[in-house]
Chain A
């Protein structure tokens, strides 16, 4: 067996387990680290620069986290990136460059998504009728979210499940029809999609003056946040409006936190409390660090999230996000993306300078 397939099989078996102890997780993470160190030249250079060679890395906590911006700058892949089955790209860009996450195949991504989704979103339900507020995988082949939602429909959606988007955005007629149908038949309904699509949906429903009371067992999954996309809305208002408009309890409004740079997602157990506690399955672990020192901050203090995802067998297991969070006993609070900072004094901040330079020809 080729080394890559070999390591993928080991991770696959790991994911299948019900749970994992710190020592098991460690062992697998270190095995992946050493594999990636050997097979991925830019990563090796990065590790050497940080003084984190395999001799120095004793636990998963020592693995140097790769900043997500690196996915824009270098190819982080242990296999030939030209032959990747899927390349998921970030929506955010730096000077037009998107971050790229190469997947030679989607075995681990799919396995991780399915097992985790089943436990955290489906719970005891086998299948549910779904409506998707996001474009299809065919329309957006480089979107990990499109693939994620396609998997959800294929694996857990009943035959009557639909995409509720058309060329101009939400197919509101179709949506209303689905919601009415659910009300009439009493068949639980699941609405899944990007958070900002939900905001648009809420605006539409409000404009039309329509509210629904979806049957028991219905649920909602939103993801991605809606800053800069829609009118300013607090999370509390968002879930209140969502719950009021559709008649789904806030405890059944689940938020998924995922990233293009990961192969595994985090979920909360509903949004009665804001901010909700996010947690992932046993094959992903999170640290909260001070970004300058790289050290973990004391529990309960704000820091930046670092995720170690064993599902990332081909790229890098450990990434440094730009998300601020707080560690808790059973997960973490996600407090949102770090906002840019202005200079404290009268010296110019990079952002203002760039805006000023925009008008200049390069």
Chain B
């Protein structure tokens, strides 16, 4: 199977160097071809996108844009549409995730970009979405308009399908020109989305580009960043650091580093009737995209004193993961990943020599692992791919000091607790750097309009242009109708 990735505006060139990325799935293989632009072609694309963003895209109203995105999303949600079918066929091969996981993941994710969700997105950040179209009166007096930049460059990473849509759609809503660099581990979805948008509204044809180059190409990146107003970067701190080093001080850089998330289960949720539901949802968060997301849990801290003990919680979790392995098997792992996983597991097993009250639960083939650890309450990442730790705690004050030092890496806490605890814990977790509190089972599907890593989706992209009340007042004396 062959598939062309990326999207380019018409720059009058048809010859491109083509890079082929090969993916081998369980049953089929796919060759992804993606154009690799030379410096000159890249500059042309940048120029074209900037021009179209200023001349064409900025004249769209925000409701027009919402409507176009909504139609594109509707087609992608429709399982009988060719776009959706292509995604369902090819993405499992490219990413290795189970087809059913992808299907469910896509639906729950795409749902957050329908019209009403996008409206919420806009209101969430701007209060008054018409600020993107026109100067709007401010409570303090005067008027303001939110201006989208000429060009946003997105550096996407990772293989969680469709993830780049967050920043791309945000960029579209503020009427910016957008250039996205796809990761080689999932180079397709954002390009498909771009083609689909143009299919729906041909006038958008030159307003964005989806391209690829090998990360770390210093000269190229320096040149693109100099021509961008905003760069949104995803990746590890090391690669973000190197992106930043190529950023002129006049370009705004919005880095989203890798994150670690965890769960907290209160004893109030651990009665014999409800506990299994909590465990089931928690396990769902573990298996979705095999913990590769920044919102995926690495550890569950479970409170002592409920009818179901933390140790039992761990065993229930093992049971759930085994069940999920039958319905939604884990992605096939490379030798490297297998070694890293088995090394991790061996280390835990060896730990049992000195801490016999811990437990290492797993099946023969290492499809999942649950480690119950009561000897040393700590905070450290799991090696992922369905490996989870369960640790007991007594009071939240016992675990906060362990988590707090890692504030820059924290993101989501999935919580099962009563309302009083929820708000109390949220306050305490927020203080140490957690930016998102959600229910177990929802960790991997953030709400529309969420604050990614505590930041604004749209506000961080725009610049506000203020007309101060003095200007308005002063202008009145020059009006032709002045008495």
Nearest first, the 4 closest Cβ-Cβ pairs linking A and B are A345-B292, A292-B366, A291-B342, A345-B158
Asked whether B341 is an interface residue with its Cβ less than 8 Å from the other chain, the reply is yes
Contact B409 A350 (CB under 8 A): no
Q: Residues of A contacting B236 with CB < 8 Å?
A: 342, 348-349, 352
Query: Using an 8 Å CB-CB cutoff, how does the interface string of A329-362 with B read, 1 for contact, 0 for none?
Result: 0000000001111111111111011001100100
With A341-B340, A346-B293 as given contacts, are A356 and B353 in contact (CB-CB < 8 Å)? Answer: no
A125 at the interface (CB under 8 A from B): no
Residue contact A302 to B163, C-beta cutoff 8 Å: no
Contacts A/B (CB < 8 Å), 22 sampled? A42-B353, A69-B346, A69-B347, A69-B350, A70-B350, A73-B347, A74-B353, A293-B365, A293-B366, A304-B338, A338-B335, A338-B336, A344-B292, A345-B160, A345-B289, A345-B293, A347-B258, A347-B296, A347-B298, A347-B384, A350-B344, A356-B406
B38 at the interface (CB under 8 A from A): no
- Complex Cα distance, B348 from A67, in Å, reads 12
B400 to chain A, nearest CB (A): 15
Q: How large is the interface on A (under 10, 10 to 19, 20 to 34, 35 or more residues)?
A: 35 or more
B417 within 8 A of A: no
Q: Assess whether B260 is in contact with A348, with CB atoms less than 8 Å apart.
A: yes
As a 0/1 sequence over residues 191 to 202 of chain A, the CB contacts with chain B under 8 angstroms (1 = contact) are: 000000000000
One of A67, A74, A352 near B238 (C-beta < 8 A): A352
CA distance A324 to B340 in the complex (A): 12
Q: Which residues of A contact B (CB under 8 A)?
A: 42, 45-46, 49, 67, 69-70, 73-74, 290-293, 302-304, 320, 322, 324, 338-350, 352-353, 356-357, 360
- Assess whether A347 is in contact with B365, with CB atoms less than 8 Å apart: no
Query: Which residues of B are interface residues toward A (Cβ below 8 A)?
Result: 95, 157-160, 163, 185, 234-238, 256, 258-261, 289, 291-294, 296, 298, 333-344, 346-347, 349-350, 352-353, 364-367, 380-381, 383-384, 405-406, 408-409
Asked, given contacts A67-B346, A292-B365, whether A349 binds B338 with beta carbons under 8 Å apart, the answer is no
- Assuming A293-B366, A338-B340, A347-B259, is B381 touching A353 (CB within 8 A)? yes
Are B342 and A292 in touch, CB under 8 angstroms? yes
With both beta carbons as reference points, the residue of chain B lying nearest to A323 in the complex is identified as B339
Taking a contact as CB atoms closer than 8 A, the residue among B338, B350, B408 that contacts A291 in the complex is B338
For A304, the chain B residues whose CB sits under 8 A away are: 335, 338-339
Given contacts A69-B350, A346-B234, A349-B381, contact A341 B159 (CB under 8 A): no
Shortest distance in angstroms between B364's beta carbon and chain A's nearest beta carbon? 7
B contact residues around A357 at 8 Å (CB): 405-406
Q: How far is the CA of A341 from the CA of B409 in the complex (A)?
A: 19
Q: Which residue of A lies closest to B333 (CB)?
A: A292
- CB pair B384–A343 under 8 Å, yes or no, is yes
Most A Cβ at <10 Å: residue of B334, B337, B352, B408: B337
What is the distance, in angstroms, from B190's C-beta to the closest C-beta of chain A? 15
Set of chain B residues within 8 Å of A46, measured between Cβ atoms: 349-350
Whether the pair A345, B339 counts as a contact (CB closer than 8 A) is no
Contact A347 B338 (CB under 8 A): no
Name the one of B157, B350, B367, B409 contacting A353, with C-beta atoms under 8 angstroms: B409
| Bound-complex Cα distance A7 to B339 (A) | 33
| Smallest CB separation, B337 vs chain A (Å) | 5
Chain B's closest residue to A73 (CB) is B350
Which chain A residues lie closer than 8 Å to B237 at the CB level? 352, 356
Cα distance, A134 to B290, chains bound together (Å): 46
Q: Give bound CA distance, A338 to B296, whole Å.
A: 26
Nearest chain-B residue to A70 (Cβ)? Answer: B350
A42: chain B residues within 8 A (beta carbon): 353
Identify the closest chain B residue to A345 (Cβ). Answer: B292
Query: How far apart sit A302 and B338, CA to CA, in the bound complex (Å)?
Result: 12
Residues of B within 8 A of A349 (CB): 236, 258, 381, 384
C-alpha gap A261/B255 in the complex (Å): 44
CB closest residue in chain B, given A74 = B353
B292 with A348: CB separation less than 8 A: no
